[in-house]
Amino acid sequence: MERLQKIIAHSGYTSRRKAEELIVAGKVTVNGVVVKELGTRVNRNDDIIVEGNILSLEEKVYYVLYKPEGYISSTDDEKGRKTVLDLVITDKRIYPVGRLDYDTSGVLLLTNDGEFANLMTSPKHLVEKEYRVKLQGFLRKEESTLLCRGIRIDNYKTKKAKIKDVVYNKESETTLATIIITEGKYHQVKLMFDAVNHPVLRLKRVRFGIVNLDNLRIGDYRLLKPFELKQLKGLAE
């Protein structure tokens, strides 16, 4: 037998934390009985219903997608724009792990494992995300130092970052650079460079933890390898 919130999270329905909230709110039944006590142990063959939905304990899958620009990192879009799910052929109910902006390309993980998604996106776990960025203007050394130490954006100070591989293009008056962060706040990379007056012109995520774009063409995807999955989970422990 396993804890009810763990089974819900493993099903991919939601994260374990959200599952606990749903249980306490009385939105989960087991064999027709409402369960509100956290830690209740159940069997996988019990009839579990969450918010009126029969829980499906399907096989867990983990993909890495080379997201192109022009796709929404969501399962659907009210404006009718293309989503990353349009690129992945699967019969599983997957969703993005975190997000990349509409105009950002690069590494995006997708899964139906709610607990894994929560591990990868929780601010408690310092999983590195590496981006290649094109900036307007010339990024000075002192500005890089400010960003690496942590900079205040929207009443929040970012955690320490790393900046490397800085290249200047005098003809276009732009900078190419690599930045590595361990957070994933909304528009974070763009806001960080805005704070030092260097708007982002192009942004691509080239690495998430140990997973990169090797051997993937834009728009392609593949299953994560067992050792990649194991190491990603290890990074979040």
Phi, psi dihedral angles at 117 (to 5 degrees): -60, -40
Beta strands in the chain (DSSP E): 2-3, 28-30, 33-34, 41-42, 48-50, 53-54, 62-67, 95-96, 105-111, 129-136, 152-153, 156-157, 162-169, 174-181, 200-208, 211-212, 221-223
User: Does the annotation count 91 as an active-site position?
Assistant: no
Residues with Cβ < 8 Å from 21, sequence gap 6 or more?
none
Structure token digits, residue 129: 């995300």
Question: What is the distance between the alpha carbons of residues 196 and 151, in angstroms, rounded to a whole number?
Answer: 9
Query: Could you tell me whether strands 95-96 and 28-30 are parallel, antiparallel, or unpaired per DSSP bridges?
Result: unpaired
Residues with Cβ < 8 Å from 232, sequence gap 6 or more?
116, 120, 127, 209, 210, 211, 224
Q: Which residues on neighbouring strands pair with residue 136, listed in sequence order?
A: 174
Among 76, 77, 86, 101, which one carries the catalytic annotation? 101
Total length of the chain? 237
Residues forming the active site: 101
